[in-house]
């Protein structure tokens, strides 16, 4: 269990501070994480990794020449926020664009996705590699649904080496995607871990058994089995991973060369891993596979969890070169890279959103109207904060009202600042979106932030508004929510109100003046929000059984319809 704690709420932050103080020659702290202490050649693609705290050395321990340029560090087992990711990415970018790399978890997908949209709006080209190596977390036909576990190491190491090699953004991204396609893992857990401040484990594995395929945060596995010998564990892992040998090898055009990672989760120690590796090495050789630069170590941990995983990445010539290339980081070192000068630019400014690009006259006027509209949003959610919290508490954690108020409040302040600086609509909304996401917290905060940013990208920094431009902005906002959040209509989320609203607005603009069309669409959104009362809430990808949320509408859909309603007067002056 985790015993060395001061304030549990500050554990992740203090661990990061201690990490930075231990590796002053390797990393520098920025808001949200770390970047390399050494200078990177201008124009080199930057790789920015990230995930929750508790998996060290993933991900901050992998920052350094030949591997990552930066790592965004979330709270315990929680994704970093888009704001953290943006901050790290801005500090890591050297003009060559950025590739994000992370394990495929809903929170990470959402926040990295939102950050990508934010950065693109700022003019930084961003690509994404979500690692999906865990064969136990989804069927072989749907590898995109799978989680990322210790396959993070070979996939993201290869990604970083491709950047180090000086390749362009497409090729770096392509190497990461190819490596992920050629990577398979299977894990076992013997016992759970205890989060800082907790006295009970996050989950337990019954004594004398092991959970096959159990995830690194305790996600359900494939089966529970009695304990077996080290050799039988090795066989189980090798057989499990090689069940998809053909598919994984095919991703690199066929290969018998494999990167091997035998990874301990924390409490399963080195000598045990080596006993297992002895058999793994024998089995791989017997299968005609050549192990290339195997790693037997703790590289993707899970606090003090007991367990291990085996990862194989099939290697073509390019991937083998990248896997064996030098890397010099606090926790993963291979070979040698020439010493580099220390980075000397002022990282204290990295957190800052980019300078305001002055908008033209029309767009500045629109920005001013948008700031006013955001004040209306803030007043509306503040007036309904309590009710929204009560609705949310039926199926969720009851923080929807407070989150909406905090997000809207921060968005108003950021928008006002941008307006004062002469920003156009796109920039006003980008600042507002970033502030909303950072201050609201939670999934809905991230989605609102992304929606505002996407809306602004559609409006640009030149020209005024029109009803059609606003409708296009609404569609872009809804699109980003669907894309980032992954929810479909009927999932009891704000998408259930947002999607019909966008559709109705488009159609109504053919018939009515803007304010009337908006009011028509608002009715549709309100009805749709109320209708979510008939849908049971989801838990992860599954419907909850015997769910008590039936009869209560979704809080996110309700708050959206309240906001849309309140915004109607702002459309009065709009041209078609």
Check binding of 16 to a copy of itself (CB under 8 A).
yes
Contact by Cβ (8 Å): 524, 500: yes
**Which residues from 52-71 bind a copy of itself, rule CB under 8 A?**
53-54, 56-57, 61
Size of the site for a copy of itself (CB under 8 A): 55
Gap between the Cα atoms of 49 and 3, Å rounded: 27
Site for a copy of itself in 194-223 (CB under 8 A): 210
Residues 36-55: x/- map of binding to a copy of itself (CB under 8 A)? -----------------xx-
Q: State yes or no: residue 420 binds a copy of itself (CB under 8 A).
A: no
The contact mask relative to a copy of itself for 64-103 (x = CB under 8 A, - = no) is ----------------------------------------
Restricted to residues 219-258, the positions that interact with a copy of itself (CB under 8 A) are 227, 229-231, 233
Smaller CB distance to a copy of itself: residue 16 or 241?
16
How far is Cα of residue 210 from the mean position of the Cα atoms in its chain? 29
Q: What is the dihedral of CA 457, 458, 460, 462, to 10 degrees?
A: -170
How many residues can be counted in the chain? 576
- Which residue, 56 or 501, is less far from a copy of itself as judged by CB? 56
Q: Cβ 209 to a copy of itself, closest distance in Å?
A: 11
Torsions phi, psi of 2, nearest 5? -85, 115
283 binds a copy of itself, rule: CB under 8 A:
no
Q: Tell me which residues in 301-360 interact with a copy of itself (CB under 8 A).
A: 301, 303-304, 306, 308, 333, 336
Q: To the nearest whole angstrom, how small is the minimum distance from the Cβ of residue 189 to a copy of itself?
A: 11
SS3 202: coil
Whichever of 281 and 350 has its CB closer to a copy of itself, that residue is: 281
Q: Which of 110, 149, 150, 276 binds a copy of itself (CB under 8 A)?
A: 276
The residue whose two tokens read 């989150």 is 403
**How far is residue 465's CA from residue 456's CA, in Å, rounded to a whole number?**
11
* Lookup: tokens for 196: 């800082």
- Smallest distance, Å, CB 534 to a copy of itself? 44
How many CA atoms does the CB half-sphere of 218 hold within 13 Å?
Answer: 15
The answer to the question of residue 145 lying near a copy of itself (CB under 8 A) is no
Specify the residue, 17 or 383, whose C-beta has the smaller distance to a copy of itself: 17
Residue 79 to residue 192: CA distance in whole angstroms: 20
Cα(289)–Cα(284) distance, integer angstroms:
5
Query: Which of 9, 18, 348, 386 is close enough to bind a copy of itself by CB under 8 A?
Result: 18
Q: In what order do the strands lie in the sheet with 126-131?
A: 27-30, 33-36, 70-76, 46-53, 98-103, 126-131
Q: Which of residues 479-518 bind a copy of itself (CB under 8 A)?
A: none
- Rounded Cα distance, 119 and 481, in Å: 16
Contact yes or no for 47/99 (Cβ under 8 A) = yes
**Annotated catalytic residue, options 31, 55, 69, 217:** 217
Token reading at 460: 């640009």
Give 469-472 contacts, CB < 8 A, sequence gap 24+. Answer: 470/514, 470/571, 470/574, 471/502, 471/505, 471/506, 471/509
Choice between 233 and 467, CB closer to a copy of itself: 233
111 tagged catalytic:
no
Residues in contact with a copy of itself by CB under 8 A are 1-6, 11-12, 14-19, 21-22, 53-54, 56-57, 61, 190, 210, 227, 229-231, 233, 262, 266-279, 281, 294-296, 298, 301, 303-304, 306, 308, 333, 336
Q: Which residues are catalytic?
A: 217
């Amino acid at each position: 269990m985790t015993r060395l704690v001061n304030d549990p709420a500050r554990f992740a932050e203090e661990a990061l501070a201690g990490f930075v103080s231990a590796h002053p020659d390797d990393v520098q702290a920025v808001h949200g994480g770390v970047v390399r202490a050494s200078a990177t050649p201008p124009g080199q693609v930057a790789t920015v990794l990230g995930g929750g705290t508790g998996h060290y050395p993933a991900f901050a321990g992998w920052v350094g020449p030949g591997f990552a340029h930066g790592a965004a560090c979330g709270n315990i087992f929680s994704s970093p926020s888009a704001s953290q990711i943006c901050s790290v990415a801005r500090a890591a970018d050297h003009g060559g664009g950025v590739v994000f790399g992370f394990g495929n978890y809903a929170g990470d997908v959402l926040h990295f996705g939102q950050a990508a949209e934010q950065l693109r709006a700022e003019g930084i080209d961003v690509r994404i590699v979500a690692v999906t190596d865990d064969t136990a977390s989804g069927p072989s036909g749907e590898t995109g649904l799978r989680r990322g576990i210790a396959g993070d190491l070979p996939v993201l190491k290869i990604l970083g080496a491709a950047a180090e090699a000086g390749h362009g953004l497409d090729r770096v991204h392509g190497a990461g995607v190819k490596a992920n396609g050629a990577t398979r893992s299977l894990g076992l857990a013997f016992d759970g871990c205890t989060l800082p401040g907790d006295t009970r484990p996050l989950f337990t594995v019954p004594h004398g058994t092991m959970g096959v395929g159990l995830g690194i945060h305790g996600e359900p596995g494939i089966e529970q089995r009695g304990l077996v010998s080290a050799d039988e564990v090795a066989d189980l892992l090798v057989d499990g991973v090689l069940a998809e040998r053909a598919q994984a090898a095919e991703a690199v055009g066929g290969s018998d060369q494999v990167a091997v990672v035998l990874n301990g989760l924390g409490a399963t120690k080195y000598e045990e891993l080596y006993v297992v590796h002895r058999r793994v090495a024998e089995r791989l050789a017997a299968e005609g596979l050549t192990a290339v630069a195997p790693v037997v170590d703790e590289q993707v941990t899970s606090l003090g969890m007991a367990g291990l995983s085996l990862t194989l990445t099939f290697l073509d010539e390019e991937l083998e070169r990248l896997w064996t290339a030098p890397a010099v980081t606090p926790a993963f070192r291979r070979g040698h890279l020439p010493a580099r000068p220390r980075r000397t630019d002022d990282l204290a400014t990295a957190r800052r959103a980019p300078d305001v690009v002055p908008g033209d006259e029309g767009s500045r006027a629109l920005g001013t109207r948008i700031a006013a509209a955001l004040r209306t949003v803030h007043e509306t959610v503040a007036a309904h904060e309590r009710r929204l919290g009560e609705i949310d508490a039926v199926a969720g954690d009851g923080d929807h009202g407070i989150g909406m108020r905090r997000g809207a409040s921060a968005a108003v302040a950021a928008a006002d600042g941008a307006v004062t600086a002469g920003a156009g609509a796109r920039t006003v909304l980008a600042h507002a979106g970033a502030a909303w996401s950072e201050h609201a917290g939670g999934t809905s905060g991230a989605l609102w932030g992304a929606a505002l940013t996407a809306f602004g990208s559609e409006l640009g920094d030149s020209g005024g508004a029109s009803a059609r431009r606003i409708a296009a902005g609404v569609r872009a906002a809804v699109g980003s929510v669907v894309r980032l959040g992954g929810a479909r209509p009927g999932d009891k989320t704000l998408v259930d109100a947002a999607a019909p609203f966008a559709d109705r607005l488009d159609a109504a603009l053919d018939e009515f003046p803007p304010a009337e069309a908006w009011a028509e669409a608002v009715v549709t959104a309100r009805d749709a929000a109320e209708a979510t009362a008939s849908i049971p809430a989801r838990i992860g990808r599954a419907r909850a059984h015997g769910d008590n949320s039936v009869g209560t509408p979704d809080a996110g859909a309700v708050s959206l319809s309240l906001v849309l309603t309140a915004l109607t007067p702002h459309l009065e002056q709009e041209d078609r």
